[in-house]
Amino acid sequence: MAVTAYWYAPAFIKAFNKEIDFDTDTQKVAATTNTYTPNQDTHDYFNDVTNEITDTGYTAGGATLSAGKAVTNTLNVVKIDATDPTAWTSANPGSITARRFPVYESTGVSTTSALLVWIDNGADAVASNGGTLSIVFNASGIATITATDATGFP
């Protein structure tokens, strides 16, 4: 199963306009079902995210990325990263089933909480009967951006 991270394009505009500060502001990662279809061009705030999972072991809005947050640059590859968030524990009996995990800048208001990236698990991740659903970020970071030269521009 391929786990892939994708950028929401409006995140770059929001970063350049100082609406996002990954190092110091609060970011969260939420969990959605496989029926959430991210729109890379138009989804800009958390209110665009649909089909967030519900379970007594899951907190609406997701888990806070509270440790190890960093933005780094190595050889023109800019990376955002954080410590893997705390797992969600399913109610017993019950289950948590998630496929996509949006990462966003949390203001506490969904209409002003800027989306950054979403992680597609490639298949449903299931935690049932008191099990846990964990997110383990790629060793290369939550997401990366590769800066290239301006070759090809008029």
Q: Tell me: the pLDDT tens digits for 42-94? A: 999 999 999 999 887 788 999 999 889 999 999 888 999 999 987 787 766 66
Flag the least confident range among 9-13, 135-139, 148-152.
148-152
User: Is a pLDDT exceeding 60 seen at residue 130?
Assistant: yes
What tokens appear for 14 in the block? 């929001």
Whole-number average pLDDT of the chain: 88
Q: Tell whether pTM > 0.85.
A: yes
Tokens 């100082």 belong to which residue? 18
Confidence grade of residue 23 (pLDDT, cut at 50, 70, 90): confident
Mean pLDDT for 134-152 is 83
Measured distance CA(46)–CA(75) in Å, rounded: 32
Average pLDDT over residues 3-10: 92
Region 135-142: mean pLDDT is: 88
Residue 1 pLDDT greater than 70, yes or no: no
Amino acid at 96: I
Delimit the domains of the chain by residue range. 4-146
d(CA 136, CA 86): 10
